């Protein structure tokens, strides 16, 4: 989950995933796609529906290695400090001499092809199928997907990233498989790794009263951004959740603003407002008021947030001219110690390019921590379920035998953390693509950094865990932040 992926997830699907769906799901059990996209005009071909109308897969908890920090029942991920001793989830290949086609996007450069990629070859060997993937750059994916749809010859597996399909309900009904008969209820036990995905995530996969989609799960909450704990510590703040109210916070941000030292509290309103909405309790795009659906910017909480941001701007707490910053400029400002607090999705914290690691490298002696919000009036803050899924998988219509074949492949690709299959899918082949350290943690080789660019994780995926063996404190911080939502 690199920064590019997080950025895309928070912008292109802003309405579908981080907006109405999460609020509606909590309010009356509806799924993101069933309630929002299901309202499209399609001549009566579909109906507005609730995920509560659909028999979702029965959840089967993963009985794998014990995590260092346990998961919660509502989907907050488990955390691991080291990679468990891997065991095979599939002693023998689940398929035999099959061929599967797929289209998905890819971030960064293309991976080496099958003939030069030992990881790709080993994955197909253990799966028992050849997987022909059309990988398209994220910038061109929407255009390419629509071209494929217009051509009428659909691949078995198609990534839907929340944008670009006109009249989604009609397309799903006319061209994609209804997965309810194969995955609904206890029938999901035939695909145990898919069944391990929490109900909260499956609720985003319904449309027109049916289960049409497989999720690419994420960690439920996007967090409230990050702060430079070293700079905050210099003004007496060691835990942001302990700040008493908005007035105290205003004082803190003013103290952090020191233009003569090339330091400001904040940079870029384009990316920086989410923590303040959490502090003032703004709804996640929509809320219910006496049974009436109300847009967030119609609420008093939203207006109070804007008033506070205006006050901060007048106080000079934003870097002058940063209103037009790109996300990269925002990241650079934080990394240089020029900005004390920013917003980015929680997935951008850990990992090799995460803030926890990069800030100390670029600004020695400084440390990044997830921002834990407080209530503006001394009460409780609000955080959002805004990182439920990266995207969804559509399967082309086919007979039951063919659909079971494709679902078996998806179940293989959803092998959970701790299995030998997960290790293979994410790190490649031992020796060529990764090496194990004395504690059993994999480290990618130069070749592995290339071979693992094949976008398997966008064809199907398990629920995520928090794992960064190089930074145990970062792992703990990420896990704890995910538990602050309500």
φ, ψ for residue 325 (rounded to 5)?
-60, 145
d(CA 202, CA 486): 19
Instruction: Give the per-residue pLDDT at 108.
Output: 81
Tell me what pLDDT residue 75 has. 57
Q: What is the pLDDT along the chain (486 residues), one digit of tens a residue?
A: 333 343 333 333 333 333 333 333 333 233 334 333 332 333 334 444 566 789 999 999 888 888 888 877 665 678 898 999 999 999 999 999 999 999 999 888 889 999 999 999 999 999 999 999 999 998 899 999 999 999 999 999 999 998 789 889 999 999 999 999 999 999 999 999 999 999 989 999 999 899 999 999 988 888 899 999 999 999 999 999 999 999 999 999 999 999 999 999 999 877 789 999 999 999 998 999 988 999 999 999 999 999 999 999 999 999 999 988 988 899 889 988 999 999 988 878 876 667 887 888 887 889 999 999 999 999 999 988 888 999 999 999 999 999 999 999 999 999 999 999 999 999 999 999 999 999 999 999 999 999 999 999 999 999 988 887 766 554 555 555 555 544
CB-based contacts of 125, cutoff 8 Å, min separation 6: 93
CATH class for the domain made up of 226-370: alpha beta
Q: How far apart are the first and last CA of the chain?
A: 24
Q: Can you give the pLDDT at residue 471?
A: 61
Q: What is the model's pLDDT at position 8?
A: 36
CB atoms within 10 A of CB 235: 14
Instruction: Express each pLDDT in 242-280 by its tens digit.
Output: 999 999 999 999 999 999 999 999 998 777 899 999 999
Q: What angle do CA 290, 276, 71 make, to 5 degrees?
A: 80
Strands (E), 202-326: 206-207, 210-211, 213-220, 226-228, 264-266, 286-289, 292-295
Write down how long the chain is. 486
Contact 315, 250 (CB under 8 A): yes
Same topology, domains 3-221+387-482 and 226-370? Answer is: yes
Q: CA 283, CA 278: separation in Å to the nearest integer? A: 8
Tokens of 211: 């289960």
Is the distance from CB of 452 to CB of 427 less than 8 angstroms?
yes
Per-residue model confidence (pLDDT) at position 49: 55
**Helices 420-427 & 118-127 angle (0-180, nearest 10):** 150
Cα–Cα distance between 114 and 150 in angstroms, integer? 28
Within the chain, how many helices (H) and strands (E) appear? 19, 17
Task: Write down the pLDDT at residue 44.
Answer: 36
Q: Are 389 and 216 in contact (CB under 8 A)?
A: yes
Domain ranges of the chain: 3-221+387-482, 226-370
Per-residue pLDDT at 107: 83
Tell me, what's the pLDDT at 386? 86
For the segment(s) 3-221+387-482, the CATH number from 3.40.190.10, 3.40.605.10, 3.40.50.10440, 3.40.50.10470 is 3.40.190.10
pTM: 0.78
The span from the CA of 112 to the CA of 452, in Å, is 9
Residue 375 in contact with residue 381, Cβ under 8 Å?
yes
- DSSP letter for each residue of 11-56: HTTTTIIIIIHHHHHHHHS--HHHHTGGGS--TTSS----GGGS-P
> Following DSSP, what letter does each residue of 87-110 receive, concatenated?
B-S-SS-SSSSEEEEEEEEE-SSP
Can you give the pLDDT at residue 271? 73
């Amino acid at each position: 989950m690199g920064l590019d992926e997080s950025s895309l997830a928070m912008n292109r699907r802003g309405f579908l995933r981080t907006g109405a769906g999460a609020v509606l799901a909590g309010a009356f059990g509806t799924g993101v796609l069933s309630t929002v996209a299901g309202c499209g005009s399609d001549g009566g071909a579909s109906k507005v529906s609730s995920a509560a109308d659909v028999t979702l897969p029965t959840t089967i908890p993963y009985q794998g290695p014990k995590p260092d920090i346990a998961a919660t029942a509502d989907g907050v991920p488990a955390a691991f400090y080291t990679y468990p001793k891997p065991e095979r989830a599939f002693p023998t290949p689940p398929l035999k001499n099959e061929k599967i086609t797929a289209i998905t996007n890819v971030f960064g450069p293309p991976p080496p092809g099958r003939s030069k990629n030992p990881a790709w070859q080993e994955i197909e060997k253990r799966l028992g199928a050849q997987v022909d993937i059309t990988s398209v750059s994220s910038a061109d994916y929407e255009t390419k997907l629509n071209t494929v749809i217009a051509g009428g010859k659909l691949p078995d597996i198609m990534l839907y990233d929340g944008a670009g399909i006109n009249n989604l309900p009609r397309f799903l009904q006319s061209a994609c498989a209804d997965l309810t008969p194969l995955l609904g209820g206890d029938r999901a036990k035939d695909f145990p790794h898919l069944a391990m995905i929490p109900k909260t995530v499956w609720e985003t996969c319904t449309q027109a009263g049916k289960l049409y989609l497989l999720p690419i799960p994420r960690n439920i909450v996007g967090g409230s951004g990050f702060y430079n704990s070293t700079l905050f510590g210099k003004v007496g703040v060691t835990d942001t959740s302990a700040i008493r109210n908005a007035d105290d916070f205003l004082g803190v941000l003013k103290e952090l603003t020191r233009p003569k030292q090339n330091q400001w509290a904040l940079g870029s309103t384009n990316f920086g407002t989410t923590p303040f909405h959490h502090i003032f309790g703004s709804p996640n795009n929509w809320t219910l008021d006496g049974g009436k659906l109300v847009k967030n910017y119609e609420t008093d909480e939203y207006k109070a947030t804007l008033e506070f941001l205006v006050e901060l701007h007048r106080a000079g707490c934003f870097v002058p001219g940063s209103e037009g910053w790109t996300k990269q400029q925002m990241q650079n400002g934080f990394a240089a110690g020029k900005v004390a607090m920013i917003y980015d999705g929680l997935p951008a914290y850990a990992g090799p390019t995460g803030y926890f690691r990069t800030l100390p490298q670029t600004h020695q002696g400084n440390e990044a921590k997830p921002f834990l919000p407080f209530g503006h009036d001394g009460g409780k803050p609000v955080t959002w379920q805004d990182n439920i899924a990266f995207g969804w998988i559509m399967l082309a219509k086919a007979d039951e035998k063919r659909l079971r074949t494709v679902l078996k492949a998806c179940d293989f690709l959803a092998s959970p953390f701790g299995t030998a299959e997960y290790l293979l899918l994410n790190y490649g082949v031992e020796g060529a693509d990764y090496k194990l350290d004395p504690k059993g943690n994999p480290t990618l080789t130069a070749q592995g950094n290339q071979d693992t660019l094949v976008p398997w994780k966008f064809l199907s995926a398990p629920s995520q865990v928090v794992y960064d063996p190089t930074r145990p404190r970062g792992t703990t911080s990420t896990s704890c932040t995910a538990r602050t939502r309500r």
